[in-house]
Structure 1
């Protein structure tokens, strides 16, 4: 009997191969041929699940967004259940930490994400997803900032504090990927924690 292949599982395998190629050699090297070789498949097998290279890259970028988003959603429940300021602060920090390259998995994800967003500058097919992720992070951060404002006095206007925190996350991510020997996970975590503390000044 012919082997039954789970289409969803096979697509995930191909996407993981895309990510490995991108991490190792860069976005431009993630051709169908190279991805197929990385996945141990024939190019025809790739084309069975994806219409072409563009379709595969869009699918992979969507998968990258969804994987990080799923982990962030897992943090929502504990954050909503927090009963005091200390628990809320820990919940917020844990949620935002999912966006930073603090361990091997998140560093690999951040490396791939930076490659995709850089490619999106000149590839129109990727730009809607890049904007979606950009806007999604800002909505998340804005809600966090507004939540802090309900209990504490913000150093600045909510819109400004939103952009300040987003810029911090973006900067730490880039530095953590490009200069991991200097921007270590411990330093990134400490910088994020200190920044969040500046948002939590008690109201007078």
Structure 2
């Protein structure tokens, strides 16, 4: 009896093969041939699941977004908005092997998105989702005297910056140090800010 293959499972396995190739050899080496070899399949078999390299790349990037969203959705309810915010943001930062892989793949694809319209759409979707998520977390924490939109931009920049730094220097930006920075920043949002004159350009 022929082996029954779950198409969605096989597509995810191929996307994971893309991730491995990208992390090990770089995005330029993530050809259909190399990904098929990494997954232990022939090129013909791979094309049963993805008709083009572009479709395969888009699926691999989409899987980063989907996995993060699934983890956040699975977080247990928490009455403490600061703890809830810290736990939510922890799912976005490279604090373990899986999240490091997602972060490195996301950053690699971000550069390619400059010239690939489909990847650019996914990149922008991820950007907007993170921005909206930061806005929601800030709304539950921000104290009087702080501008919610400005604090949303600050939090968004902090998370993005930590992710980039962790990819560049994981020996400096450790999981412990990143989480401590996030918790400290979130606690600061609860502190009223004194009125200050507008900054000069």
Fold match (TM-score > 0.5): yes
CA RMSD of aligned residues (A): 1.6
Cross-structure match for 1:65: 65
Cross-structure match for 1:41: 41
Is it true that 1:6 corresponds to 2:6 in the alignment?
yes
Is it true that 1:200 corresponds to 2:190 in the alignment?
yes
**C-alpha distance in structure 2 between counterparts of 1:17 and 1:45, whole Å:** 14
Cross-structure match for 1:163: 153
**C-alpha distance in structure 1 between counterparts of 2:138 and 2:130, whole Å:** 12
Cross-structure match for 2:198: none
1:99-178 correspondence to structure 2 within 5 Å: 99-149=92-142, 152-153=143-144, 156-178=146-168
CA contact (8 A) 1:153 1:199 kept: no
The number of residue pairs the alignment matches comes to: 194
State the SS of the aligned residue for 1:114.
helix
Structure 1 spans left out of the alignment, 5+ residues: none
Cross-structure match for 2:74: 74
Please report the TM-score for the alignment, with normalisation by the length of structure 2: 0.92
Cross-structure match for 2:32: 32
2:174 aligns with one of 154, 169, 184: 184
Cross-structure match for 2:85: 92
**C-alpha distance in structure 1 between counterparts of 2:135 and 2:111, whole Å:** 24
CA contact (8 A) 2:27 2:108 kept: yes
Give the C-alpha shift of residue 153 in structure 1: 2.7
Deviations 1:39-93 (A, max 9, x none): 0000001101111100111111111110111111122x413xx1xxxx3211110
Cross-structure match for 2:196: none
4-13 vs 194-203, greater mean Cα deviation: 194-203
Please report the TM-score for the alignment, with normalisation by the length of structure 1: 0.91
Structure 2 spans left out of the alignment, 5+ residues: 194-201
Deviations 1:85-115 (A, max 9, x none): xx32111101011111111111111011111
State the SS of the aligned residue for 2:74.
helix
> Which one has a larger percent helix, Structure 1 or Structure 2?
1
CA contact (8 A) 2:82 2:141 kept: no
- Runs of 4+ that moved beyond 4 A: none
**C-alpha distance in structure 1 between counterparts of 2:98 and 2:21, whole Å:** 15
